[in-house]
Amino acid sequence: MGRIKSALEIALERTEGVSSDRASIGLFEARQRGKKLANEFLAGGPAVGEAIKKAPKEEAESLRQGAFSVFVSQINLPVNTEDLQRLELVGRALAGLITDKRFPPIFQQFISAVSGYLGEAVRYEEAIRQQYAPKLRQKEEELARRFGRQVKLDPFQDPEFVAFYNQNMNALKGNYEALTKQVQAEAQRLFDA
């Protein structure tokens, strides 16, 4: 009868030829610290550039890469003006990490475009509501006849309106989503250069 091995013995056999590379572990940890620094900065903490300058030379690039990955992931469409302020903060942070001087004007154009998006989204929503208003009134009248009393519907309670709204708003977002992808790609290209 064969001997039954413990889980520890099996694990040790499987990892027998595996050795840890302290340098790559250190770089991974530095990248993680860079991500943490970026998140702290977005929450109102100190500038990331100072921490990178103070870091040992062999860790500085990994810190920079970690911070960059967090900041570039924050490039997206704003929902409100607070998001726009956060985007401007992200742009300043990226400009500090990307040495190419072509990036700040590109990001400023992006900020201008997404500012226009916020205004356009408000106008779109109003236009959608106006376009759907007659149909909503018709549904309210039908419900009033059925129940014998006045009924006021919130358009977002009507599945047909929600589908109509989402279709139109997603078309608007689609136009601007392509722009965010372009800015992310350009930031990555200039960061890697």
Q: Give CA–CA dist 47/49, Å, rounded.
A: 6
19 pLDDT exceeds 60? no
What are the residue boundaries of the structural domains of the chain, listed by start?
100-193
Q: What is the DSSP letter of 75?
A: -
Q: Give CA–CA dist 44/89, Å, rounded.
A: 10
Q: How many residues does the chain have?
A: 193
5 pLDDT exceeds 80? no
Name the average pLDDT for the chain.
Answer: 88
CA distances from 42 to 21, 155, 180 (A): 32, 36, 19
pLDDT in tens, 87-106: 999 999 999 999 899 999 99
